[in-house]
Structure 1
Amino acid sequence: MSNFLVSNPNPNPNNSFEVGQPPNDSVSSLSFSPKANFLVATSWDSQVRCWEITRGGTSLASMPRASILHDQPVLCSTWKDDGTTVFSGGCDKQVKMWPLISGGQPVTVAMHDAPIKEIAWVPEMNLLVTGSWDKTLKYWDTRQSNPVHTQQLPDRCYALTVRHPLMVVGTADRNLVVFNLQNPQTEFKRIPSPLKHQTRCVAAFPDQQGFLVGSIEGRVGVHHLDDAQQGKNFTFKCHREGNEIYAVNSLNFHPVHHTFATAGSDGAFNFWDKDSKQRLKAMLRCSQPIACSTFNNDGSIYAYSVCYDWSKGAENHNPATAKTHIFLHLPQESEVKGKPRMGTNSRK
Structure 2
Amino acid sequence: MNNTSQDMEVQHPPTDGISELQFSPQANFLAASSWDSNVRIYEIQPNGSSVAKAMYSHSAPVLCCAWSKDGNKLASGGTDKIGKLFDISTGQSTQVAQHDAPIKEVRWVDGPNPILATGSWDKTIKYWDTRQQTPISTITLPERLYSMDSVFPLLVAGTADRHVLIYNLNNPSVPFKTVPSPLKWQTRTISCFPAGNGYGIGSIEGRVAIQYVEEKGTQQNFSFKCHREGGTSVRDKATVYSVNCISWHPVHGSFSTAGSDGSFAFWDKDSRQKLKSFPKAPAPISTSCFNLNGSIFAYAVSYDWNKGHSAAGTQNQNKIMLHAVTDEEAKPRKR
Find 1:114's aligned residue among 101, 125, 135: 101
| Structure 2 length-normalised TM | 0.95
Task: Tell me if structure 1 keeps the 8 A contact 2:25–2:292.
Answer: yes
Which of 179-188 and 203-212 deviates more? 203-212
Determine the structure 2 residue equivalent to 1:335.
329
Q: Distance in 1 between matches of 2:158 and 2:5?
A: 31
Find 1:311's aligned residue among 293, 306, 311: 306
Determine the structure 2 residue equivalent to 1:211.
199
The code of the aligned residue for 2:229 comes to E
Task: Tell me if structure 1 keeps the 8 A contact 2:19–2:33.
Answer: yes
- The Cα shift of 1:160 comes to 0.6
Task: Tell me if structure 1 keeps the 8 A contact 2:54–2:91.
Answer: no
Find 1:52's aligned residue among 15, 38, 43: 43
Find 2:18's aligned residue among 18, 23, 27: 27
Find 2:51's aligned residue among 41, 45, 63: 63
After TM superposition, list the pairs within 5 Å mapping 1:191-340 onto structure 2: 191-242=179-230, 243-320=238-315, 322-340=316-334
Q: Distance in 1 between matches of 2:73 and 2:327?
A: 31
After TM superposition, list the pairs within 5 Å mapping 1:94-109 onto structure 2: 94-100=82-88, 102-109=89-96
Q: How much is the aligned-residue C-alpha RMSD, in angstroms?
A: 1.1
Q: Distance in 2 between matches of 1:304 and 1:188?
A: 33
Runs of at least 5 residues in structure 2 that lack an aligned partner in the other structure: 231-237
Task: Tell me if structure 2 keeps the 8 A contact 1:13–1:286.
Answer: no
- The Cα shift of 1:173 comes to 1.2
After TM superposition, list the pairs within 5 Å mapping 1:145-184 onto structure 2: 145-184=133-172
Q: How many residues align?
A: 325
Determine the structure 1 residue equivalent to 2:60.
72
Q: Distance in 2 between matches of 1:226 and 1:69?
A: 41
Runs of at least 5 residues in structure 1 that lack an aligned partner in the other structure: 1-11, 342-348
After TM superposition, list the pairs within 5 Å mapping 1:3-22 onto structure 2: 14-22=5-13
**1:169 is paired with a residue of what secondary structure?**
strand
Q: Distance in 1 between matches of 2:280 and 2:163?
A: 31
Determine the structure 2 residue equivalent to 1:186.
174
Q: Distance in 2 between matches of 1:228 and 1:38?
A: 38
Q: Distance in 2 between matches of 1:184 and 1:55?
A: 40
Q: Distance in 1 between matches of 2:270 and 2:20?
A: 27
The code of the aligned residue for 1:289 comes to P
Q: Distance in 2 between matches of 1:251 and 1:184?
A: 24
The code of the aligned residue for 1:39 comes to L
Q: Distance in 2 between matches of 1:18 and 1:282?
A: 20
- The Cα shift of 1:80 comes to 1.1
| Structure 1 length-normalised TM | 0.91
